[in-house]
Amino acid sequence: MSLETKVSAIQDCSYLPNCDLTSYTTMRLSSKGNLIEVRSIEGLQKLLPLLTAEKREYLVVGWGANQILPAICDKIIIHLDFPFDSTYLEVARDEYILPASLGINHLTSHAVKFGLKGWEVFTGIPASLGGAIYMNAGTNLGEIGTLVKSVQVVTRTGELREEIIDKTSFSYRHNHFLKDGEVIVGATLVHLGMDSTIPQKIKDYLEYRKKTQPLATKNCGCVFKNPHKELQAGRLIDLMGLKALTVGGLRVSPKHANFIENGGASNWDQFKDLVDTIRFQMDHFYGIEFELEVKIPYH
Does the annotation mark 293 as catalytic?
A: yes
Query: Could you say which of 220, 222, 251, 261 is catalytic?
Result: 222
Query: Could you say which of 13, 143, 173, 251 is catalytic?
Result: 173
Beta-bridge partner residues of 95: 190
Query: Could you say which of 143, 163, 261, 293 is catalytic?
Result: 293
Calpha distance 276→289 (Å, rounded)? 11
- Terminus-to-terminus CA distance in the chain, angstroms? 33
Q: Coil, helix or strand for 29?
A: coil
> Nearest to residue 120, comparing CAs of 150, 145, 136, 142?
142
Q: What sign does the CA torsion over 116, 117, 118, 123 have?
A: positive
Calpha distance 157→179 (Å, rounded)? 12
What is the CA angle 37-41-42, rounded to 5?
100
Rg (CA), the chain: 20
C-alpha torsion angle, residues 126, 130, 133, 135 (rounded to 10): -70
Residues in the chain: 299
- Do 240 and 281 contact (CB within 8 A), yes or no? yes
- Do 220 and 268 contact (CB within 8 A), yes or no? no
b/e sequence 4-41, b meaning 16+ C-beta within 10 Å: eebbeebebbebbeebebbebbbbbbbbbbbbbbbbbb
- As annotated, the active-site residues are 173, 222, 293
